[in-house]
Amino acid sequence: MKKHITLVLSITVALMGAMLSLPARADDLAKSGRDILAKSQGAVVTVKLAIKQSVSMGGRENKSESKTETTGTVVDPSGLTVVSLATTDPSSTVKDAYARAIAARGGDMSQFKFDSELNDVKIVLADGTEIPADVVLRDKDLDLAYLRPSDKPAKPLASIDLTKDAKAQILDEVIVINRLSQAANRAAAVSIGRIEGIIDKPRTFYLLGQSMWGYSLGAPVFSTDGKLVGIVLLRSAKTQTDQDSGFIFSNLNQWGMMPVILPASDIVDGAKQALEAKAPAPEDKSPTGEKPAANEPAKPAPARTKSP
């Protein structure tokens, strides 16, 4: 009986200790998140885009221009910024998605055409300063676009070091920094989540929990000690299936796409190429009119229009 009482008391003390440690641990995590936000939010920027689109099907063509904003991560003091390619060039993903969906239903894609053209790019810093920029490198396979200021900034910009990265494991806690929309004055926002899955083939991608999917493409993801895990980008399936998954949003799954975290180590080489790439000249034109393939210099954008 005495042994039984001693065991019960030991378990009770252990449980009480664990319960008492939870608030302290939560406070430590909150402090870590605030520290990372204070240190890195200057390198998380808004990118304003003006995109011309042309859609034709069965001889009918519709042209339009849209203005949108996305989140970017500055990865070099020169202002080199990483964004999701899908946000700068919808045709890079939408066209393939439509093709898979229509083909899966036995449709004819020969009459369908979807083209987009980036007409204007501006990097908006935390203080509201707008810096005209150009896309100097694209990587369709990784959904990466590298932007560089059209003119050298007057002073080095706040940036995140890609080489000081962290490897994540299943259920590791991570911290994501994002820029909200203009309606929220483009304020920086931070949230804490967990790595809920890891894709290891054909390359490594980390998966955030569904509750974190509201965060913008292009947002940086950090370990709790402040090292960069990677950038949130869009992964597209090579083939379309009719299978549904409750793990990802139905509207993305319908087109064979889902947000993933691309490890920082996979962005370094492209960043080096982008820093060395020749600045595009507005007058130059590609002789074929085709978009660059993975890791090829970007086709020069047309002359910029004034952004509101």
Tell me: the pLDDT tens digits for 120-129? 999 999 999 9
Residue 216's pLDDT is what?
83
pLDDT tier, 48 (very low <50, low <70, confident <90, very high otherwise) = very high
3-state secondary structure (DSSP) of residue 263: strand
What is the model's pLDDT at position 15? 52
Tell me how far CA of residue 253 lies from CA of 182, 239, 246, in angstroms. Answer: 28, 12, 9
Residue with more model confidence, 27 or 190: 190
| Residue 230 confidence (pLDDT) | 97
pLDDT value at 73 more than 80: yes
Question: What does the alpha-carbon distance between residue 139 and residue 242 come to, in Å, rounded to a whole number?
Answer: 28
Of 23 and 77, the structure prediction assigns the larger pLDDT to 77
Query: Whole-angstrom Cα distance, residue 121 to residue 270?
Result: 20
Between 35 and 281, residue with greater pLDDT: 35
CATH topology of domain 41-297: Thrombin, subunit H (2.40.10)
State the CB neighbour count (10 A cutoff) for residue 308: 5
The domain locations on the chain are: 41-297
Residue 257's pLDDT band (cuts 50, 70, 90) = confident
Q: What mean pLDDT value characterizes the chain? A: 79
Q: How confident is the model at residue 16 (pLDDT cuts 50, 70, 90)?
A: low
pTM, entire model: 0.77
